Structure 1
Amino acid sequence: MNAIFDSTGPSGAGTGPVAEVLSTVLFGPDARREHGFWRRLVATEPFRRPLWPPPGPTPDERLALAHARLRALNNALDSAARPAADPRALAALHEWLAPVDPALTTVAGIHYNLFLGSLLDHDTETPRDLSDFLRLRRIGTFLCTEVAHGNDAAAVETTATYDAGRDGFVLHTPHAGAQKFMPNTSPAGGPKSGLVAARLIVGGVDQGVFLLLVPLTDASRALPGIRVRRLPARMGSPVDHCLTSFDQVFVGRAALLGGAQGRVGDDGVFRSDTEGHRRRFLASIGRVTTGRICMSASAVGSARTTLALAVRYGGHRFVSGGRASPPVPVIAHRSHHGPLAEAMATVFAMSLLHRRVLDRWEKAAAGPPAEREAAERMVDIAKGWITWQARSVIVECRERCGAQGLLESNGMTELVTGIEGAITAEGDNLAIHSRAAAGLLFDAAQVPQDDPAGDPPDGDLADLRFLGRLLGQVERIRFARAAARMAQVPHGGPLERWNAASGPALRGVEAHAYRQAAHAYENALAALPGGEARERLGELARLFALRWVADNSGDLLAAGHLTAGQVEGLTDATEQLVAAVSRHLPELAESFALPGELLADWPIAGPHYTHAYDDPGASWHTTAARQPAGGAR
């Protein structure tokens, strides 16, 4: 057991075995409180994976299992309101549950964050009875996206028209494109209620998009006026993605989630302290930002788990060592351990950036609007960058495990497909990065740029501070390029100007994410005293930064930030770090603190993985049984 999660063990950063010190770096100084519950939970029986050879469950059976686990999870909580009210608990839930059961993670994230979290956020004046949802007598879901409106969800066309005579709202779906296109809305798992994003019409005036609490199903069917149809099977998680529509469905006035963005009073008059439809909409769906943090957490947990499996399997799988040489583990080959070493540097960067963004978001929540907006932009950038990096890591690790990595019993296939959902959920990565790019481009225009000309730099490729400065120059180069392209079309319309700039601007967002991840590495190193753990973390940090510098060496050389000799030295510097990191891959993977029970459920995680494929009726057993005692030798 990793001592930072053991109530009897030490928890101070910088002390103890290397893996435990690095676990503290990854999970924070309060890891026992923040992560301990979820780590213990995934090691218990309701969350264990069935072992092969029994036939795998069907998608419907997997969905039923996800809902059964949701109830087990809910029963284990002191209060179901806790994760809904605590972004750190929500993030930890996703970090630990995503590698175990992506379907469970989806339904739990929707219920606790988007549904319960929104109810708690907006019902502060007259709190409603949430006992059915807290005790899971009804499961909560969230209906925002429509067939014709995803990233432009502020334009949804489902309507909620105020009926003064009945003092409530009539929900209606006007056409096929306005059907809700969301998961977990069928009766599967039990009765459901949803928060429905609809265009509020009061006195014939469109007041913008708000959320309304609407009962959707009982235990077996949709309620009157509501149609729920299952969509075709989707890749990955077996969650019931559905089309949901409303035909003149009435709900009382209390169904509206009000707040500063707007409310309808006893007199039937709409009032709002928030100007503009878009701001009202963003206030109503504020939980989507927390959801993006959760998507980053899911990606971090899934990438760590896949990498740990690949490292363990690489040490157990032996191949020929060559003529007259004994077999060697496949991970001994540079072609195998090199990609895993680079993946390890990336996974640490993902983990550290995720924690950095979560800390910033939590601190900014009660701060001035400018701080909240900056923190939210960083949430968006991190969500896109982390989930895209996770996809690359997971696919690489799956490939390093060959055919074994394609078997569902070995735990990787769900994560390969599951990460695609995280890339799209809570805002497509490209869309949210485009918004971030526009903001960063504007900010960059307000800051005087360094003169790119001048004497070649005097820097050492082994110096993390020098590498950090180069990462900053990559970001400046890309945004300067975007600004220059935009300036070439001064008389064009907004779309034409943005199209000219968006390519380098989006690459600037990527560079910004790399720079922020490098800062997270620097902060983690600064918190550690000297010693072996600090050496290991420093090697990872330099490898992470050096790979990005190498990818952009042409731009850096052209701008005078690298010399030709430094560019020539990039390959050797990188190879030295790959070798250094590769020597410690098992120990670095151990710092992920995956419970032994969890690893035991995946055959390739153990040295005797071939035992999972043993056949009691095969000749190697039956021949020995038939061999008479004292038989021929």
Structure 2
Amino acid sequence: MTASIDDLSTERSTELLTGVLLGDNFRQEHGFWQRMISTEPFRRPGHRAPDERLRLAYERLRILNDCLDSGARLAADPRALAALHEWLGPVDPALTTVAGIHYNLFLGSLLDHEEGGRRDLSDFLRLRSIGTFLCTEVAHGNDAAAVETTAAYDRARDGFVLHTPHAGAQKFMPNTSPAGGPKTGLVAARLLVDGADHGVFLFLVPLTDAVRPLPGVRVRRLPARMGSPVDHCLTSFDQVFVGRDALLGGDHGRIGDDGGFSSAVGSRRRRLLASIGRVTSGKISMSACAVGSARATLAVAVRYGGHRYISGPRGSRQVPVMAHRSHHGPLARAMATVFAMSLLHRRALNRWEGRKDGSGPGREEAERLVAVAKGWISWQARSVIVECRERCGAQALLENNGMTELITGVEGVITAEGDNLAIHAKAAAEMLFATEPAAHGAPLGGEPGDLTDPGFLGRLLAVLEEIWFGRARERLGRAPHGDSLERWNIASGPALRGVEAHAHRQAAEAYADAVAGLPEGPARGRLVELQRLFALDRIARNSGDLLAAGYLTADQVNGLPDALEEVITVVAAHLPALADSFALPQELLADWPIAGADYVDAYDDPAGAWQLDGDRATTPGGR
């Protein structure tokens, strides 16, 4: 009876922690995707060539679409889009890429700019044509406002002529080949009316049929990209005509019946931002993809560490490799980071949704948090995935064990929807030149705080943000006026550290909110331990700054290593249960051999000598 009660308590704790990671409504929000990746069409296939894997990604996209009650509803729901990426990311990065482009960037943009509901979306909802998004050019990536593809208004034909003026203006990296079926693109191009440049807008342009590009459209496959295969291409236009309704117009700009251009937005840059607003939802989806991939990799590493046995010291009995601090220590740190990533992702998603109904911060603040979260989360995912791969040794280098694809996949996430460094630099500039930030509570009130107090640790992380932005402002104040680039260069180093500290503070606050939302019990205790480990780890890396500023004493700095070791010991003891809270389907884990205790069976040889040993022993004269 006692064991049964213990089992129920463990199950309840796991469920509570799953709610922390996925949200209180996780069954409704995530259940569909959990069930989908458990079905046979989404099981990991055997070895396939890149073109076969690409074909499989598009086959799965059609299966996914057939399972939806409404592709338009998915495209209009940021939470559903994030959940798609969170669960499909670890299963098939190529599928995740093409699905994200189709539902978020393509369909979502069409829905956002739908005027009067007059556009027929049935071909895209039924995947008779797959949608793609053409913004980046060979010579223009993060500076999308400078794209050079043109869309000149032709009054005589009442439409637009798209043209690529030179090699640098070729659209770079969209999935525009006929692979998977006919493609239609949203093309970012400069709107020219009677020679006047009105800025960058999106235009709906048919690109290919099922076999080849359409007339005037040139598509060339790029060299193979590291990681999962997607049909990334160079795409250019030679005087391609589309009708007036191809323009995704709205208040930010439209062509009237008289052929004149009008806009309620005076800035060409703001017109661009209105046109490509779906990039923010894309950043949220990229964070979700990184979180899901890191969780899956960590779960596999924890399992493998528990059933990979090695010789004990001095020839004693074998022990699991997880018994060694050198092995479980990095995984404990990774667990605290993965929980922080998950919590920050959900915080950014909630803030972005809240700005629509006025219940959250303003749009600009919410958008900045989304950008900061995307950069920090995807960088942390890379570190976690690489650490987990290393902890699993040579076997994790094999494709069938799932990790190599996720290592390369997260590199794409780091670059997609804005390169991390570029979006963090933009956030740093905004925060640097904003009004002087308010203090988040002085951690010392006459007496030093306690390193076991999560509240004190959270305030230290807030102080670090202020320290780094304070240094950036001081450097900016000493910089000579007149050269804005030089002034930014002088301040950018500490300002970028300030953005990193801002991410740490936001994650720490999300931890505190999650702890407060749990009832007293084992689940809350586990989360507090992870909260402390996350904060102590970051504080230890910046202890000199906190000591110099008077927020830590010398004794506290000296005590940080022991405090970290103590909490690592506690967290490490619960790693398997914490990994269970990720709620990964058993079917998914079964597709990765090293996730199972019987992983050696995946390497068995039916013709091996050991298969014959039993028969030989019972055969007269056998050796």
TM-score (norm 1): 0.95
Counterpart in the other structure of 1:343: 334
Report the equivalent of 2:579: 589
Q: Find out whether 1:18 has 2:26 as its counterpart.
A: no
Matched, 1:297 2:292: no
Equivalent of 1:45, from 40, 47, 54? 40
Indicate the residue corresponding to 2:569 in structure 1: 579
- Cα distance change, pair 502–257 in 1 and its aligned pair in 2 (3 A): same
2:310 corresponds to which of 316, 319, 332: 319
Closer, same or farther in 2 for the Cα pair 1:484/1:136, shift >3 Å?
Answer: same
* Corresponding position of 2:69: 78
Partner of 2:502: 512
> 1:3: which partner in 2?
none
Aligned counterpart, 1:8:
none
Gaps of 5+ in 2: 1-8
Unaligned runs of 5+ in 1: 1-13
Partners of 1:124 and 1:86 in 2: CA distance: 19
- Return the letter of the residue paired with 2:30: H
1:9 is aligned to none
Change (3 A) 1:618 1:104: same
The one-letter code matched in structure 1 to 2:14 is: A
Matched to 2:523, the amino acid is A
**1:471-490 aligned within 5 A:** 471-490=461-480
Which residue does the alignment assign to 1:554? 544
Once the two structures are superposed, the pairs formed by residues 59-458 of structure 1 within 5 Å of their partners are 59-367=50-358, 371-443=362-434, 445=436, 447=438, 457-458=447-448
**Counterpart code for 2:340:** A
Equivalent in the alignment of 1:603: 593
Q: Contact 2:253–2:265 (CA<8 Å) still a contact in 1?
A: yes
Alpha-carbon separation, structure 2, partners of 1:253 and 1:75: 32
Give, in angstroms, the shift of residue 404 of structure 1: 0.7
Secondary structure of the 1:142 match is: strand
Q: Is the 8 A contact 2:219 2:235 kept in 1?
A: yes
Q: Deviations 1:114-166 (Å, cap 9, x if unpaired)?
A: 00000000013243110000000000000000000000011000000000000
Gap change, CA 1:213 and 1:455, over 3 Å in 2: closer
Distance 1:15 1:313 in 2: 21
- Write out per-residue CA displacement over residues 473-531 of structure 1, whole angstroms, 9 at most, x where no aligned residue: 11111000000000011424211111110000000000000000000000000001110
- Contact kept? 1:47, 1:69, Cα under 8 Å: yes
Which residue of 519, 523, 542 maps to 1:529?
A: 519
Q: CA RMSD in A?
A: 1.7
- Secondary structure in 1 aligned to 2:395? helix
Task: Quote how far apart the aligned CAs of 1:324 are.
Answer: 4.1
Between the aligned partners of 2:484 and 2:606, the Cα distance in structure 1 is 70
SS of the equivalent of 2:577 reads helix
Q: Look up the SS of the partner of 1:445 in the other structure.
A: coil
Q: How far apart, CA to CA, are the structure 1 residues paired with 2:570 and 2:586?
A: 27
Contact kept in structure 2, 1:457 and 1:563, CA below 8 Å: no
Equivalent residues of 1:457, 1:561 under 8 A apart:
no
Match of 1:460 among 440, 443, 450: 450
Do the aligned residues in 2 keep the contact of 1:471 with 1:515 (CA within 8 Å)?
Answer: yes
Q: Offset at 1:248?
A: 0.2
Q: d(CA) in 2 for partners of 1:424 and 1:449?
A: 32
Are the counterparts in 2 of residues 457 and 562 from structure 1 also a CA contact under 8 Å?
no
C-alpha separation in 2, matches of 1:612 and 1:325 = 28
How far residue 412 of structure 1 moved from its aligned partner, in angstroms, is: 0.3
SS at match of 2:157: coil
SS of corresponding position for 1:245: strand
What's the TM-score, normalizing by structure 2? 0.96
Q: Answer whether contact 2:142 2:422 (CA < 8 A) is retained.
A: yes
Partners of 1:374 and 1:49 in 2: how far apart? 40
How far is 1:624 from its partner? 3.3
- Could you tell me whether the CA contact under 8 Å between 2:440 and 2:459 is conserved in 1? no
Q: Aligned partners of 1:605 and 1:324: how far apart in 2?
A: 27
Which residue of structure 1 aligns with residue 602 of structure 2? 612
What percentage of aligned pairs have identical amino acids? Answer: 71
Code of the residue aligned with 2:305 in structure 1: it is G
- Conserved? CA contact 2:132–2:183, under 8 Å: yes
Residue 632 and residue 65 in structure 1: after superposition, are their counterparts in 2 closer, same or farther (change >3 A)? closer
> Which amino acid in 2 is paired with 1:516?
Q
Match in the other structure for 2:25: 30
How far apart in 1 are the matches of 2:129 and 2:323?
53
- The whole-number CA distance in structure 1 between the counterparts of 2:498 and 2:533 is 21
Residue deviations 1:36-61 (CA, integer Å, cap 9, x gap): 0001000001100025xxxx111111
Report the Cα distance in structure 1 between the residues aligned to 2:117 and 2:14, rounded to whole angstroms.
49
The Cα shift of 1:369 comes to 11
Q: Distance in 2 between matches of 1:593 and 1:568?
A: 39
Distance 1:568 1:628 in 2: 67
Of the structure 1 ranges 110-119 and 235-244, higher mean CA displacement relative to structure 2 is found in: 235-244
Q: Which moved more, 1:177-186 or 1:89-98?
A: 177-186
Q: CA deviation at 1:338?
A: 0.1
Instruction: Please give the alpha-carbon distance, in whole angstroms, between the structure 2 residues aligned to 1:624 and 1:449.
Output: 71
Moved more, 417-426 or 119-128: 119-128
Partner of 1:221, secondary structure, is coil
| Displacement of 1:447 | 4.4
